[in-house]
């Protein structure tokens, strides 16, 4: 394992975050804070508690997950797409750096940024609503697994996309709607039985449910199922990335 190469690529990606601090950290935190103000304070005061938890506190895990998914995909997709756009990816591919080292560097940097952002949003949420984390280790586990999984998804999108517009297609038209419909702002138990069944086909439900359980012990599905589905998403993303590197899809053209 070429740790010098990993450190160089990882350091470059993290340095890019410091150069674009307003866009990478400040803007998502401000946007999420608006959700807390509108839903937590203005609307939440008129909504009864959910499972013994105030509505403002109830939506915190979902809002963190929303930011985590979108930012993980955005960071990883742009990180690998820009070298393809400028042509510097071929210098990297011809260097004595393995595919595994490239993957660890880019995905590791994207996941690190997302985890930092998630923790900042968690700390910010504590300023608006009363928070408690009953299972902090499980919370960190779901945070890391989700960040890594969707950074892999972003890496795949960055390889697939052939223009900047396509980088935004999946996050805006697929991931964000699935997150809003995945129990971020409500429990799926509130839905009619038929819609509860439909909601279980939404993969984000399992991510949000497991993450919310780590906070309040509340879950729409069992913890084992949430963890199993999260690991299944991770394995699927790894399999697709392995296929991309094996075939050279959009890398050797």
Nearest in space to 229 (alpha carbons), one of 206, 210, 201, 205:
206
User: Which residue has better confidence, 245 or 225?
Assistant: 225
Q: Which residue has the higher pLDDT, 46 or 65?
A: 65
The torsion region of residue 250 among left (phi > 0), alpha (psi -120 to 50) and beta comes to: left
For the chain, give every domain's residue range.
Answer: 3-247
What percentage of the chain has pLDDT greater than the value 70? 97
Among the ranges given (30-39, 156-165, 177-186), the one the predictor scored with the smallest mean pLDDT: 30-39
* Residue, of 41 and 236, whose pLDDT is higher: 236
pLDDT, residue 153, reads 96
pLDDT of residue 138: 96
Per DSSP, 50 falls in state B
Which range, 2-11, 30-39, 54-63, 108-117, is most confident?
108-117
Q: Which residues pair with 53 in a beta bridge?
A: 50
Q: Give yes or no for a contact between 71 and 117, defined as CB atoms under 8 angstroms apart.
A: yes
What pLDDT, on the 0 to 100 scale, is given for residue 104?
Answer: 94
3-state secondary structure of 47: coil
Stretch 37-66: mean pLDDT, rounded? 80
Share of the chain above pLDDT 90, in %: 47
State the pTM of this model: 0.91
> Could you give the CA distance from residue 30 to residue 164 in angstroms, rounded to a whole number?
24
- pLDDT bin (cut points 50, 70, 90) of residue 41 is low
Does 157 score more than 60 pLDDT?
Answer: yes
pLDDT band at 45 (very low <50, low <70, confident <90, very high): low
Which residue has 């945070």 as its token pair?
A: 143
Give me the mean pLDDT over the 184-198 stretch.
Answer: 89
Question: Mean pLDDT in the chain?
Answer: 88
Residue, of 167 and 231, whose pLDDT is higher: 231
């Amino acid at each position: 394992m070429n740790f010098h190469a990993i450190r160089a690529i990882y350091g470059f990606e993290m340095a890019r975050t410091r150069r674009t601090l307003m866009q990478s950290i400040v803007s998502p935190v401000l946007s999420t804070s608006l959700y807390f103000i509108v839903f937590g304070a203005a609307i939440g005061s008129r909504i009864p508690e959910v499972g013994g938890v105030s509505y403002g506190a109830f939506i915190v895990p979902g809002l963190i997950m929303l930011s985590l998914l979108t930012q993980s995909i955005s960071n990883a997709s742009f990180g690998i797409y820009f070298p393809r756009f400028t042509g510097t990816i071929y210098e990297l591919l011809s260097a004595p750096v393995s595919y595994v080292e490239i993957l660890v560097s880019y995905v590791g940097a994207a996941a690190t940024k997302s985890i930092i952002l998630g923790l900042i949003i968690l700390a910010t949420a504590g300023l608006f609503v009363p928070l408690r984390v009953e299972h902090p280790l499980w919370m960190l586990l779901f945070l890391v697994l989700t960040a890594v999984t969707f950074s892999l998804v972003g890496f795949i999108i960055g390889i697939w996309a052939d223009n900047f517009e396509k980088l935004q297609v999946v996050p805006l038209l697929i991931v964000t709607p699935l997150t809003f419909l995945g129990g971020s702002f409500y429990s799926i138990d509130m839905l009619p039985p038929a819609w509860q069944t439909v909601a279980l086909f939404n993969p984000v439900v399992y991510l949000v449910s497991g993450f919310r359980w780590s906070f309040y012990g509340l879950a729409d599905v069992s913890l084992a199922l949430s963890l199993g589905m999260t690991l299944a998403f991770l394995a699927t993303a790894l399999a697709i990335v392995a296929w991309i590197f094996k075939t050279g899809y959009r890398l050797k053209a």
